[in-house]
Amino acid sequence: MNGLTQSQLLTQVFTSHGPTVIMPSWYCARDWFDQIGRFNEGGKGVPEDLLLFYESLCKGGGVSHVDEGLLMYRYHSQAATHSVLEDTIWYHRVTFLEERVLSCWASFTIWNAGKQGRKPIRKRMWLFVMSMKIR
């Protein structure tokens, strides 16, 4: 992600690999943090950093490189990040894509998407089918 151009930083958000920034590597001004609504304190398994990042983008926040080290992140096996399921991340990625992009288009076509490109659509179709069964 450090090799991406400024415009790629934002468009990468909509790829199957998700946002270009991970929580330990992004920051914002305190007044912006207060304005976008703070972290979702839903508890274990909630990707609060991803949700805050998406909220920031939805409210007009941007993404920029800072070409110097600002902090040292220490990874450890007890980190809360391990409680967030991959399916939860995919759900939020697809929802963000639907709300910010797909809802603006009358139609779209998936062509040669590969495994990662098809996964969001399969997930969404599965959720749709399950919601129909519940009704």
Alpha helix segments (H runs only) across the chain: 6-11, 30-36, 48-58, 86-100, 114-134
Nearest-Å Rg of the Cα atoms of the chain is: 16
Supply the pLDDT for residue 135: 46
Q: Rounded to an integer, what distance in angstroms lies between the CA atom of residue 59 and that of residue 67?
A: 25
Report DSSP state, residue 15.
Answer: S
Mean model confidence pLDDT for the chain: 76
Burial per residue of 47-61, b for 16 or more beta-carbon CB atoms within 10 angstroms, e otherwise:
bbbbbbbbbbbeeeb
Task: Read off the pLDDT of residues 57-67 as tens digits, 9 standing for 90 and up.
Answer: 899 988 877 77
**Stronger pLDDT, 14 or 32, i.e. the higher one:** 32
How far is Cα 121 from Cα 20, in angstroms, rounded to an integer? 21
What pLDDT does residue 35 have? Answer: 92
Alpha-carbon distance values, 32 to 3, 45, 53, 67, 96 (Å): 26, 25, 12, 22, 20
For the chain, which residues make up each domain, given as ranges?
6-134
More confident residue, 1 or 29: 29
Which of the two residues, 99 and 70, has the higher pLDDT score? Answer: 99
Residue 93 identity: R
